[in-house]
Structure 1
Amino acid sequence: MTKLYSIGEVSRILNIPPKALRHYDEINLIKPSHIDADTRYRYYNYEQFFIIDVIRYLNKMLYVPLENIKKIMGENKENDKLLTLLESHREQLNQKIAELEYSKRITDGLIYDIKYREKYPEKIEIFEQYLMNRNLYYIELDISIYDIDKYVNRNTINTINIDNSESNVMCSIYSISEYEKSQKLQVKGFGIFSDKKVPGLKSKILLEGRYITQRFLYSEENCSAALRDLLRYAHTNNIKLDDTVYLVSKMVNISASSKYGYYMDLQIRHLI
């Protein structure tokens, strides 16, 4: 008589949770060779150990979904079908690897930022800087700065571009002329800087040139105050400014406990 093994015994021998074995049974991936009519206990024979081990390896080491393993382990072993399944799985793995590389790159940037700020603490100041062309991908808006969190967030735009080296930098857009008329800041757009095209978003090139910049600790009131400071600075120094204002910051600053812990740069380009 063939020796049978309970779920507990299979679990101990193959180092697999009983819950996993029950799930395999429920989805018809591998059924027990015998179920006791009275107790409904599941039992497996020794030959099934090999199959269970292969399933576990494909799922946990190669990350093949269980539904795909059902197809791979099925009776139809035609090479063309197996190749199609495995090639599709390889593409999924490549995508996952690329996403993990992207996450690692952003994490490296967060580590660098913290170390840099420890060495060179942020300063609330006005300064001038020369910036090269930047590609901004954004959604158009016309909302109060006080309402921006109701309409946009970091997931509003498709920021996951694994080839993009700049997508941890976000930017919102304002207009000087509108501010001077109403004394209120209206957000005209929100997006990210990207060296790769972001599908579904409008694009705008921030032209190369000198930008006057006010760095400040964020609040809606501080943003308005920073713009007033920049306009006074430009007037005092006889600087003609573009009408568009860019509020630039890191997408994530994990050392900040709220948005009011973010240092941001308000930037306006000189007009020649």
Structure 2
Amino acid sequence: MSTYFTIGEVSKLFNLPIKTLRYYDEKGVLKPAYINPSTNYRYYSREQFISIDIIKYCKLIGMSLEEIKELINSDSSIEIMINNMNKQSELLKRKIKELTDVKTYLDDIKNSVEEILEYEINKVIIRRNKERKNIRFDLEYDKVEELELYLRKVILYLEERYNDVYPLLGVIAPYNNVKNRGEIKYSCVCDFTDRGIKNKESNNLNGVEIITPGGNYITIFFDDNWENINKYYYKIMDYIEENNIEVEGDFNEVWTMPRVDSNGKEKTFGYIEILIKNNDK
């Protein structure tokens, strides 16, 4: 058996787990050159070393086992190798773009959270915002469950289009509804990420690109469960009335970092804002 190597020896020579070599055998990617009929021990020949190198290389560039199996079992011509390299190069290019987009998204979220942390939670302030390009999804609902389901559809729509795991989402609450101190009833779900509709193509959710004006916004930051959100709206209304401030438009409720507490209850880090009228934009 001096011309053969045990599965353990091959594992050490190529830094491959034994279970991986067995899996390659099971999938027909790399069959042992010899199996002892008495012990069922697997043995590999020196000639198979190049096949193992090719398999490792192909895995490195992202080829699937089926593609590797097809390559190993073919004549492995130069043309086939080049075609596979081109194919994997294009796949890697797309993956790099996807990862770059994800990193940009994570950096934006991190920057938003760090900016919020500069302010005092649960305190009304005036903050200046730049003009933003957002997407509004008009909303009609009677029950909270209907709002949750619609929100999930919006998240999936944005995820498919922008590769966002969780975009900078929120809702718009009509000013008059809040002013009358009634139950907060939202009119829209909004993607507050500053980007607008990609390619302006139509969509089944009827998303509309809107311009959120720049200017001074009365703002309150919160870190709480959505069931307690009314008190933050009313705190802003108290501030508006006590200081005789004119505002325009509706309230934006922006969710920067939704999460779950130790009791499994939803908790959101975010803010509520409304534009001050006639300010210097």
**TM above 0.5, one fold?**
yes
Q: Does 1:185 pair with 2:191? A: no
Superposed CA deviations along residues 51-87 of structure 1, whole A, max 9, x for unmatched, are: 112211321x323222222233342445555444322
Unaligned runs of 5+ in 2: none
Cross-structure match for 1:206: 212
Give the Cα–Cα distance (whole angstroms) in 1 for the partners of residues 252 and 110 of structure 2.
25
Q: How many residues align?
A: 266
Normalised by the length of structure 1, the TM-score is: 0.77
**Cα root mean square deviation, aligned:** 3.6
Cross-structure match for 1:42: 42
Cross-structure match for 2:99: 100
Structure 1 residues 126 and 64: alpha-carbon distance in aligned structure 2, compared to 1, 3 A threshold: same
Deviates more, 1:14-23 or 1:145-154: 145-154
Asked if 2 retains the 8 angstrom alpha-carbon contact of 1:139 and 1:190, the reply is yes
Structure 1 residues 180 and 252: alpha-carbon distance in aligned structure 2, compared to 1, 3 A threshold: closer
Cross-structure match for 1:127: 125
Superposed CA deviations along residues 220-263 of structure 1, whole A, max 9, x for unmatched, are: 35421222232333334444433422111314579x76777544
Q: Among 220, 229, 233, which residue is 2:226 paired with?
A: 220
Structure 1 residues 260 and 10: alpha-carbon distance in aligned structure 2, compared to 1, 3 A threshold: closer
Structure 1 residues 182 and 214: alpha-carbon distance in aligned structure 2, compared to 1, 3 A threshold: closer
Instruction: Give 1:47 deviation, angstroms.
Output: 0.7
Give the Cα–Cα distance (whole angstroms) in 2 for the partners of residues 224 and 142 of structure 1.
19
- Residues 131-142 of structure 1 aligned to structure 2 (within 5 Å): 131-142=129-140
Asked if 1 retains the 8 angstrom alpha-carbon contact of 2:226 and 2:268, the reply is no
Give the Cα–Cα distance (whole angstroms) in 2 for the partners of residues 209 and 116 of structure 1.
17
Instruction: Give 1:3 deviation, angstroms.
Output: 1.6
Q: Does 1:71 pair with 2:70? A: yes
Give the Cα–Cα distance (whole angstroms) in 2 for the partners of residues 96 and 182 of structure 1.
49
Unaligned runs of 5+ in 1: none
Structure 1 residues 222 and 142: alpha-carbon distance in aligned structure 2, compared to 1, 3 A threshold: same
3-state SS of 1:186 partner: coil
Cross-structure match for 2:18: 18
3-state SS of 1:185 partner: coil
Structure 1 residues 208 and 152: alpha-carbon distance in aligned structure 2, compared to 1, 3 A threshold: same
Normalised by the length of structure 2, the TM-score is: 0.75
Give the Cα–Cα distance (whole angstroms) in 2 for the partners of residues 190 and 183 of structure 1.
22
Asked if 1 retains the 8 angstrom alpha-carbon contact of 2:128 and 2:215, the reply is yes
Cross-structure match for 1:268: 274
